[in-house]
């Protein structure tokens, strides 16, 4: 009997275990998933919590309910991986032995990494929304906020879902307008990037959306510390941004056990071959989801497309055959824009987000890089797709690889609406 051990039972780990349970002979393979708790969170819904548009019971499900029969779930914190001995030590002393390992422990916000972020003002005037507790605390603070400087801030890239801070900014702007207090609030978006987003065409479109909403953008801002008493963000180049209420995205890092195991880079992400997701150091370790160092967005969509490619590759690899699938870094992300509209972006390692239609070229129904109600409805529908189709490992009729059909290059004239 061989053992496939999956570390992390979130988006990538759950899909991986369920998909492989169907493909690996149960008489030959044990599949074991390890996670520290039994709460599976649908993280894309966190952005709606501060504005009262999603509740805890819509976000959280029991993890073990989503794992198929024939998959063991071990609830424990991972302490260390010994990749030479092929063992995983758990906090409490238990040791698990594996033949193949999938690391899918994601990335976590780390407010402890920025001086002055934690402390007496944490969740009083400084909030995060990358945790459910943080998003709920922010909802309470926003209910009492009726004037002043509201600052949305990104500490450093990469972060999971890099458009989520923009979404919260757009949603806050629309929410302030709905409450009739937009003119009493100064909205500021503070980013370490040189624009609203990383790639030129999307950065221009999303930057224009910030301008249209009269949201001031502070670019190239690398926070050195937060002065809680004076309520200012201070950058390494000694600029200051004042706030009354700060919504920050702390530094995101891979799990600490990755560092303890000598498997990670400086942010605890595991280096892999970006086309096969196989560790560059060990041919018994694959990394799926946010935990690897692949140069694309850290997003659930990426985990989904990567798992599609990985499943067949894994079967080839364990039989000693060359892996024939090649992951292209495909990502797509909805960007909530407020007023029940959203923008959709679709890109990969080589192709930046471009205008066009998705998923059916020239038809849609979704429109890329444009605010539409259909895109917003697509974002809302995705939650149901996530719990009922993606997590159980059912097939989704979306190609794993990016398609250029129907996409307009920057030099081409824009398509008619
Ligand atoms: C605010 C927000 C909005 C988002 N919006 C979108 C979106 O619109 N579209 C999109 O595609 N993606 C979005 N994402 C990103 C998406 O949620 C993640 O990319 C996805 O969940 C990554 O899957 P993963 O399996 O790598 O990590 P996760 O789903 O985070 O799972 C990691 C698991 O590992 C476990 N774990 C970690 N360390 C240990 C340890 N030491 N011991 C035991 N268990 C451990 C955790 O408990 C967790 O269950 C968003 C994320 C956030 C925070």
CB distance 165 to ligand 1 below 6 Å: no
Q: Which residues contact 61 (CB under 8 A, 6 or more apart)?
A: 39, 40, 42, 387
Closest residue CA from atom 8 of ligand 1 = 44
> Tell me: the pLDDT tens digits for 220-257?
999 999 999 999 999 999 999 999 999 999 999 999 99
CB distance 289 to ligand 1 below 6 Å: yes
pLDDT for the residue 198: 86
> What is the DSSP secondary structure assignment for residue 43, as one 8-state letter?
G
**What spacing in Å lies between the alpha carbon of 278 and ligand 1's midpoint?**
20
What ligand 1 atom has the least distance to the C-alpha of 289? Answer: 26
pLDDT for the residue 409: 78
For 414, other C-beta atoms within 10 Å of its C-beta total 9
**What spacing in Å lies between the alpha carbon of 367 and ligand 1's midpoint?**
26
pLDDT for the residue 413: 53
Rounded distance, CA 31 to CA 318, Å? 14
Instruction: Return averaged pLDDT per consecutive 10 residues of the chain, 417 residues in all.
Output: 98 98 98 98 98 96 96 98 98 98 98 98 98 98 97 98 98 98 98 93 96 98 98 98 98 98 98 98 98 97 98 98 98 96 96 92 92 97 95 90 85 53
pLDDT for the residue 362: 86
8 Å CB contact between 289 and 10? yes
Q: Strand 245-249 to strand 148-154: parallel, antiparallel, or no bridges (unpaired)?
A: parallel
Rounded distance, CA 270 to CA 287, Å? 7
pLDDT for the residue 397: 83
Rounded distance, CA 88 to CA 302, Å? 26
Q: Which residues contact 229 (CB under 8 A, 6 or more apart)?
A: none
């Amino acid at each position: 009997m061989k053992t496939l051990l999956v570390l992390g039972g979130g988006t990538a780990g759950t899909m991986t275990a369920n998909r492989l349970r169907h493909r690996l002979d149960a008489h030959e393979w044990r599949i074991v998933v390890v996670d520290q708790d039994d709460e599976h969170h649908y993280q894309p819904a966190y952005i709606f919590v501060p504005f009262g548009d999603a509740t805890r019971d819509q976000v959280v499900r029991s993890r073990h309910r989503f794992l198929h029969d024939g998959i063991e779930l071990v609830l424990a914190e991972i302490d260390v991986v010994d990749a030479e001995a092929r063992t995983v030590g758990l906090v409490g002393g238990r040791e698990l032995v594996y033949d193949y390992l999938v690391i899918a422990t994601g990335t976590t916000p780390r407010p402890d990494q920025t001086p002055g972020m934690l402390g007496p003002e944490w969740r009083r005037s400084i909030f995060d929304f990358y945790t459910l507790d943080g998003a709920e605390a922010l909802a309470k603070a926003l209910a009492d906020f009726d004037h002043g400087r509201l600052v949305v801030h990104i500490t450093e890239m990469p972060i999971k879902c890099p458009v989520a801070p923009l979404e919260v900014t757009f949603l806050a702007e629309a929410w302030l307008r709905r409450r009739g207090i937009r003119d009493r609030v100064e909205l500021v978006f503070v980013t370490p990037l040189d624009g609203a987003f990383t790639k030129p065409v999307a950065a221009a479109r999303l930057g224009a959306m910030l301008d249209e909403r009269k949201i001031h953008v502070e670019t190239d801002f690398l926070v050195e510390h937060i002065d809680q008493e004076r309520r200012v963000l201070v950058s390494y180049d000694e600029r200051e941004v004042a706030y009354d209420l700060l919504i920050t995205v702390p530094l995101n890092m891979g799990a600490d056990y990755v560092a303890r195991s000598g498997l990670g880079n400086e942010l605890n992400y595991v280096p892999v071959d970006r086309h096969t997701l196989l560790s560059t150091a060990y041919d018994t370790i694959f990394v799926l989801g946010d935990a690897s160092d692949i140069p694309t967005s850290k997003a659930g969509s990426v985990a989904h497309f990567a798992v599609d490619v990985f499943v067949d590759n894994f079967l080839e690899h364990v039989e000693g055959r060359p892996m024939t699938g090649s992951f292209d870094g495909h990502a797509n992300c909805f960007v909530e824009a407020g007023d029940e509209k959203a923008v959709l972006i679709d890109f990969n390692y080589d192709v930046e987000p471009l205008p066009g239609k998705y998923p059916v070229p020239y038809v849609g129904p979704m429109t890329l890089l444009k605010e539409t109600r259909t895109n917003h409805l697509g974002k809302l529908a995705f939650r149901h797709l996530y719990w009922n189709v993606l997590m159980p490992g059912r097939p989704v009729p979306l190609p794993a690889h990016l398609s250029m059909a129907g996409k307009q290059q920057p030099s081409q004239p824009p398509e008619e609406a």
